[in-house]
Structure formats: C-alpha cells, structure tokens
A and B are shown apart, each in its own frame.
Chain A
C-alpha cells in the first residue's frame, strides 16, 4: 500500500475504529493499542482489496479479533468505569449529558451486544458483514441484534431517554 494512500485511509478510518473499540471494550488505552495493532496487521497482511470499503471491513475484522484475543488472554473482564467514556469538553451541555447516558446505557449491555449494535447502527454494516467481522452466522446476527435492540430500547425508555422520554 502506497504511503499517501495509507495515510488517507488511516485518516478516514482510524477515528471510527477507535470509537468502535472504545465503546466495545470500555477502555481507551486498550482502544489506542488495538487501533495501532490493527493497522500494523493490515499493513503486514499485504491484503489488496478491490475497494476501500472492503479494506475497511477487513480492518474492523482484525480489530474485533484482536479484542477477542485480548479478552481471552485477560482474566480481568470487568468493564472500565463510565468515566472512561467521557465525551468532548466542547460538546454542548445537553448533548454531553445525552452522550454520557448512551455510554452508561451501552455499558449495561454485554460486550457482544455493544459490538453488534455499533456495527449495525454506526458503521451501518449488513448482517452478513457483521457476521464476518464477529465470527457469527448471519441468522444469529439477526436474532442477537434484535435482542440487543430490545434491551437498549428498554434501557432508554427506563432512563427517560426513549420515545416517551421526549427525546
């Protein structure tokens, strides 16, 4: 991969990958490390896809595998404190409060469900792509995603952030 092309790809992809890993793992330092390692593995793989989107999906797959490997190695699976997900200081007060709530509510879900929701809603990936990234079957993704949405929807409603909460 040419240097300029890699730098462009990094600038476009790294912030999204970092956000995914921060919310999936709940650990900013770990997300920092995994983003770097993911890009390094991508470079080492010599993977030459037909499109940038394909490369992006491959990168997310690497990152997901690295996070899974890290979890397997680490006996400490407890989530990081909510403060790990502090949002930008520049954000408006209302938005800041909402974002913190999202962080808090997401943290109440298991890591697998957080990953599913993130890939489906933020990265707007199809079930098949999510299945490839998370090592699941497409049919399982559909069911698990449905359950995850139900849980998060219930949490949002209970916290007054859902449809009835006037959001």
Chain B
C-alpha cells in the first residue's frame, strides 16, 4: 500500500517533462538486452519488462558532449576573464572554442522518463531536449530539438522450470519530434536585415510510429539469449510551417545478444556480448560497429561498476543505489563522423533515478 501511495505521489510530481534512457545502458556499451532489469525494457528489449511483480522507474539524465574538448578549451576561464582580455585575445579565444565543434554533434542533451510495469504490462512516457551544434570556427550554428515518446509493452512469459523461461514482449510507440533550423551568423544577418525572426528560424515537426519486438530466453547456469526486432517502422517526415520537409528513416535492425550472470554472496556479475543490426552488416567496419560488450560488477546492493565497448568505443560507469534513489555517472564515446571513426565525441553524463 505504501508503495502504491508513493507511486501516485511521484506521478503527481512528474507532471513536468518525463524521463528517458538509462545511463547504465551507455556505461555498459548498451549491452543490456539480456540483463534482468525492467529499467531497460522500454529502451532496449521489451521482453525485459517485469512479468511477476511491479516496477517503477523515473530517471533524469544530463549529457555533456565533447566534454574533454570543452574542458581543454578553457571555456570557463575565457568567460570569467573575458573583461580583462583585449579584443584580439578575446576574439581568438572565442574562435578556439568554436573550432572544437567541427561537424555536426550534440552539445548538451537532457532526457527524462517515467515508466511503470506490472505483471507483463507497462507504460512509459519519455522526453528529450537537445542543443545541437554544427559547423566549426566562424560557421558554428546551433539548433534545438525536443521530443516526446509514448510507449506501451505487452509481454508474455513461459516458464519451463529449472531456471528456464522464454519471454516475448511487444512495444508499439509514438514519438513526436520538433526541431529548429540552425541558427548561424548567416541567420543572424538575415534576421537583422529583415527584422523578422520567423524568416530565419524554422521549426519542423512530425510524428513517428514504431514497433519493437523483443525475446529473452533464459537457460540454467545463468545463461540467456536475446533477439530484438527494432524499429519496424516506415520512414517519416518533419514538416516546417513553410512546408519544407526533412525525411528520416530508422533502418530496421535485428539485434542479438548472449549473456551470463549470477549472484554470489554480496557480489553480482553480468556479462553480455551482442551484435546490433546483424541484418545490416556488409563488411568488417559494419561488424565492428555492430559488436558490443558490457559487464557489470555489483558489490553489495548499493554499489555497481559497469564497463562496455560499443562500436569500437569504450565506456565506463558507476552506480550508487540508496534505497529508491539511484545515482549513475558515465563516461562514453559516440561517433558523429561522416566516415565512421573520424569524429568521436566523448560524453560525460549524470543521472538521478527513482527506481522501485
């Protein structure tokens, strides 16, 4: 009863933007398809949803992209001491900072999510806000992006006894996306000349419907196998107020994974090897991009270290779980290169989650 009251109270508190992607996933290189944690059901494998009891999850995550570049660029120092610099020094300092954002990357993102599940059925609402940056040097431009996603999961569990079971989960979802055009020096010039912000800044919006199907097979001795059919969805378009269109398509992918884990005394261990998008592998580079590995080492129920490898890039993370509050931190890499491998960006992220 107390749990139910707590949930109702928390839902009332979260009329604000809801939550989203668990940082533990990033820390483990997103190798969580077989991990027995309902927190990953809405983001990775619908078959992971709680089939016997009740689960509630409310994470809020903040990600800072290009973290090392930003720290090295001495951004704070430049801001604090800008009044003491002469014009030339200030201009070159700003230029040095802008040069870090070559290509198209995120600058900062916020994710929020609210999900609960009970006996194989779950609902989730998540939202995200992103500040994207593109260009580099003088042409650096900013754009904004927000999205809201609603998902539900229906899962069936077949128990074969002796630690063996098969779960199948279906997750239809709808995502509303809105993004602005880029705001650059050219846009500013245009705005100054026309004195009309609308002519310089366009907003595109649209809705994407998708279906994910996930399965999880558990066998004795702690082994499990997962197969997820992701983004069974047609391409979709975002349309601006002037009728301009941006097309997107999420390639259908088949993700597979094998995992092993167990608990011994106060130590718990989880290891997973996976291949993402096996249907899209064409060459060695695709294979590298597809491969991911993740492991978690839990020390007591309060403390967990995670590490992973995804598409060639490493990740590490730390989780502290104090009763119903989880604090996660992660450091990972994401590649934004035109040719894969050319433009990796490191991300420093922190998440606070209420999890039951």
A and B from one complex: no
